[in-house]
Amino acid sequence: MTRILYVEDNDDNVFLLTMRFELLGGYEVLTAADGEAGCAMAAAETPDLILMDLDLPIVDGWEATRRLKADPATRAIPVIALTAHALTGAREKALEAGCDDFDTKPIDFDRLVERIERLLAKGGNEKD
Ligand code: MN
């Protein structure tokens, strides 16, 4: 079972992505609705991977990622940034903050799962 922490303030996105992972199987999805709660959850639960929305209340996704990567307890957890920003430089800014990978919204679920599995160095035969 792969444990994913999804840090996202949009309830619809949380619902949809959680449902997709449940249907896929093999994944447990933890959620947090802001960057501060996300950092606390990451430290408490040490998930296998974090999906980080960048536009978040209280602490945004860039700062939350900086904090996670500055903390020895959480720095090894891969972070995939998710943003609706198709702006030039958004990817570079996310990678500078310490994100391991980057993807754009609306989420292409199959592509996202490929990124997750690549980051976790998984084979393609664990979906069953
Ligand atoms: Mn958001």
Percent of the chain with pLDDT over 90: 80
Nearest Cα to Cα of residue 8 among 105, 116, 109, 119: 105
- Whole-number Å distance, alpha carbon 24 to ligand 1 midpoint, is 24
Q: Which fold has domain 2-122?
A: Rossmann fold (3.40.50)
The predicted-structure confidence for 109-123, as pLDDT tens digits, reads as follows: 999 999 999 999 854
> What is the per-residue pLDDT across 31-74, written as a single tens digit (0 to 9) for each?
999 999 999 999 999 999 999 999 999 999 999 999 999 999 99
**pTM to 2 decimal places:** 0.91
**Res. 80: pLDDT tops 70:** yes
The yes-or-no verdict on residue 27 having pLDDT over 70 is yes
Side-chain-facing half-sphere of 98: CA atoms under 13 Å: 18
- Tell whether the torsion through CA atoms of 75, 32, 50 and 126 is positive or negative: positive
Q: Phi/psi of residue 26, each to 5°?
A: 85, -5
With 80 as the cut, is the pLDDT of residue 85 above it? no
Domain ranges of the chain: 2-122
pLDDT for the residue 122: 54
Task: Report the separation in Å between the CA atom of 120 and the middle of ligand 1, taken as the mean of its atom positions.
Answer: 25
pLDDT tops 90 at residue 126: no
Taking phi over 0 as left and psi of -120 to 50 as alpha, with beta for the rest, 2 belongs to beta
Cα(35) to ligand 1 centroid in Å equals: 10
Distance from the CA of 21 to the center of ligand 1, in angstroms?
A: 19
